[in-house]
Amino acid sequence: MTPDSVAHIINQAFWAAFWLCAPILIIAFVAGVVINLVQVATSLQDSTFSTIPRLAVFVFSVMLLMPYMLKRISMYAVSILGDLSRYAH
C-alpha cells in the first residue's frame, strides 16, 4: 500500500465524516441560535429551557436524517471495500 493510497483512504474517511455530521451540526446551530434569541427576548435564564429543546431538536434531526446518513456511510463502505484489491498491492 503506497502512501498515496493511504492518504486517499483517509481523505475519503474525513469527507464521509464531514457529510455525516454537517447537516446535524447545522440544524443544532440554528436551533441554538433561535433558542438563545427566545431566551434573550423573554429574559429566561433557566438552563432547562435551553437544554431540553436543543436535545429534542438533536434527537429529531438524527431520526429524520438517519436514512441519509445510512446511505452515505453505505456508499463509503462500498467504495472502500470495492477498491480493496487496488489497495492490497
pLDDT in tens, 22-43: 999 999 999 999 999 998 898 8
Tell me the pLDDT tens digit for each residue of 52-70. Answer: 989 999 999 999 999 999 9
d(CA 16, CA 5): 16
Taking every pair of C-alpha atoms in the chain, what is the biggest distance, in angstroms? 63
What angle is formed at CA 88 by the lines to CA 87 and CA 89, rounded to 5 degrees? 95
pLDDT confidence band for 80 (50 / 70 / 90): confident
